[in-house]
Amino acid sequence: MPLTGATRLAAVIGDPVRHSLSPRIHNAAFAALDLDWAYVALPVSAGGGADALAAMRTFGIEGLSVTMPLKDEIAAAVDRRSPAVDKLGACNCVARDGEALVGHNTDGDGFVRALCEEAFSSATPTDLVGASIAVIGAGGAARAIIDALSRAGAGSIDVINRTLDKAEHAASLAANGRAVPIESQADAFAAADIIVNATSIGMAGDDGLPLPVDVLSNQIVADIVYQPLETPLLRAARSRGLLAVGGVGMLVHQAAIAFELWTGEQAPVDVMREAVAANLP
């Protein structure tokens, strides 16, 4: 819809952000619901997080998506933090609550929503209760996913990472988490109901695999990488007849949660997913 004097503004901040799909995702959603909103990408370098929040106040920006390298800065600078942001120390979404700017982290819950939708055709995480899950990686995305899986009731969460102390830190976010040394990873994968690749291994141009292929037997396999749509891990899992969940769902659902926090409207998830599909090779 045409911009007006009453158009409400949301944005993604970080560096780099010009490549971001978020403007296409959110503007498609605003148009689908006939909302007088617009979403833009605003490059903000490291060290500029507090200034970005000040600008949000000054210009009346309604919502922010936050990407690297600002997630920690914004988490420290918002007026209030969600429990997830308190726990993780990282914020990827800022929403208004009256005059207060509230930091949220939608990555983990976005992953859980996507996994449940694609693996169990469910809108709720009840199918994850008691599940044994192996998570590869201990970075920011992995930590958010581990926290959300634990809150969803996972029975156990094994964390596999090249650096054991980082795995131990990530595993500590779950009441039922355990860091697994690389030399014991095969046993962890074999015991898992669900394997999650929460690293960038397999991203466009990378033919690597985050695990030995021969550990794939009867697990659900999820990969947070969304470009390419079929990573080497997903291809290997599907070639063995396994259910494989790609990274587009997490991208869409973390955005949908942010959309709902900003607008109070139910996000048009199908429209948002189509916007991603139309802009990926």
Q: Where are the domains of the chain?
A: 8-105+250-277, 108-246
139 Cβ contact partners less than 8 Å away, ≥ 6 residues apart: 198, 199
CA dihedral 12, 16, 21, 24 (to 10 degrees): 50
Known active-site residue 71? yes
**From 56, 61, 71, 145, active-site residue:** 71
CB 116 within 8 A of CB 263: no
Q: List the helix and strand counts (H, then E) for the chain.
A: 11, 12
Give the tens place of pLDDT for each residue, 91-115: 999 999 999 999 999 999 999 999 9
Give the tens place of pLDDT for each residue, 7-59: 999 999 999 999 999 999 999 999 999 999 999 999 999 999 999 999 999 99
Give 197's DSSP letter.
Answer: E
> What's the predicted TM-score (pTM) here?
0.96
Domain covering 8-105+250-277, topology: Rossmann fold (3.40.50)
Query: What type of residue is 144?
Result: A
Please tell me if the domain spanning 8-105+250-277 has the same topology as the one spanning 108-246. yes
> What local confidence, expressed as pLDDT, does residue 122 receive?
79
Decide yes or no: CATH 3.40.50.720 for domain 108-246.
yes
